[in-house]
Amino acid sequence: MNNKIFETDNFFNLKNKIVFPPMTRCLCTKKGFPTKKLQDYYINRAKNNFGLIIIESAAINNNDALGYKNGLQFHNLQHVKKWSKFLKKLKAYNCKVIIQLYHAGRLTVKELTNKNVVSPSSIKPESQVSFWRRSNRKKVIHFQTKSEFKEPTKLKIKEIRRLEQSFINSIKLAIQAGFDGVELHGAHGYLLHSFLDGRINKRLDIYNYKNLLFLKNIITKSKKHMSNKIFSIRLSLHRVDNSFVKYESRFFDIKKIIKKLDRFGINLFHSSEIKAGNKLFGTKKSLTQIIRENTKKPIIACGSISNQNQINQLTKQGANLFAFGRSAFANKNFVRTLKFKLEFKNNFSYNRWKIYS
């Protein structure tokens, strides 16, 4: 029985090892400020006893980074002022709070950005359909704008450097606002992920996929703002436009990526898997295992965690923290439910428990 997830985390002094992961709600104003409905949503999760809350992906500018209507933004002093007040309310419940920063990259449409959609290379997103990406007459369209995802414009070096500075600026402002740290969204096919994958990043200049220069510059130039703060990165193999990407190290060498990110200054790795702990398509190991073999830094395991055996398996694979997304989204009393189920299992020796009910 592993009730250790309710014990204090020694890495970041969290009250427990249970994480509420970032999930886009589209409950913001046009300028990216959280509405009262979104604030209440996070207050309810803070009350519920999560050790760490990761605020949903916030765009680093108000144009080409935008992926959704009414999505969160974080890039100016107005955002700092709004979040400074709100963070005091959240932290009153003894949880730590970080914000995930992102750029949508090629997974957005011009109707949202009001300018060209950008990416490391001019390669159109793949054709997988999902809630976010609907099908209309054999075209994949954005679920809000109903417009087709098209081939992006290749970023120029000066534009990449501008985006580096935008990320650095948002990181600085996040610490100024009172966040306990930040998470870079390097997963699911968004811009940072695209720069890491040789199937999307075909560049032959200094920003090629093997160099990791984009992430290196963002992380190393932000470290002066991140003393004693959580500096996380979320990583995945799968993408919004393709859940069935095959792991091929010649294009996406997770081992080398982890070692470099560790060296640059990341101190928390967020492993996003479709089913946490399962083997990645194309290899005999899970993403969590591969990360653990290449860093000593703590790992958040995330991806349909639904029973005690899975938590035990992930612990053996090297996970330190455990994120529960959809189940906690559906149940604002999730942590209490989880604790009851674990204690119930311990008392009555049930082999499995479900946490969605």
Mind listing the pLDDT tens digit for each residue in 85-142?
999 999 999 999 999 999 999 999 999 999 999 999 999 999 999 999 999 988 999 9
Residue 101 φ/ψ, nearest 5 degrees:
-105, 140
- Average pLDDT value for the chain: 94
Q: Which residues contact 14 (CB under 8 A, 6 or more apart)?
A: 8, 51, 52, 95, 96, 321
Mind listing the pLDDT tens digit for each residue in 288-309?
999 999 999 999 999 999 888 9
Q: How confident is the model at residue 352 (pLDDT cuts 50, 70, 90)?
A: very low
* SS3 category, 89: helix
AA letter at 198 = G
Using a 10 angstrom Cβ sphere, with 0-12 exposed, 13-18 middle and 19 or more buried, the burial of residue 38 is buried
| Owner of token pair 């640059």 | 264
83, 187, 273 from 239: Cα distances, Å: 30, 7, 10
Q: How confident is the model at residue 207 (pLDDT cuts 50, 70, 90)?
A: very high
> % helix / strand / coil in the chain, to the nearest 5?
35, 20, 50
pLDDT for the residue numbered 332: 81
Q: How confident is the model at residue 346 (pLDDT cuts 50, 70, 90)?
A: low
Q: What percent of the chain lies above the pLDDT cut of 70?
A: 96
Axis crossing angle, helix 157-177 with helix 213-220, rounded to the nearest 10: 30
Q: Name which of 314, 334, 337 is nearest 324 in CA terms.
A: 334
pLDDT at 3 over 80: no
Q: Name which of 213, 290, 283 is nearest 248 in CA terms.
A: 283
Integer-rounded Cα Rg, in Å, for the chain is 19
pLDDT at 223 over 90: yes
pLDDT at 19 over 90: yes
Lowest mean pLDDT among 11-15, 78-82, 296-300, 347-351: 347-351
Three-state secondary structure of 125-182: CCCCCCCCEEEECCEEEECCCCCECCCCEECCHHHHHHHHHHHHHHHHHHHHHCCCEE
pLDDT at 267 over 80: yes
Q: What percent of the chain lies above the pLDDT cut of 90?
A: 89
Domains of the chain: 3-123+155-348 (3.20.20.70)
AA letter at 57 = S
pLDDT for the residue numbered 306: 87
Average pLDDT over residues 63-79: 98
Mind listing the pLDDT tens digit for each residue in 168-183?
999 999 999 999 999 9
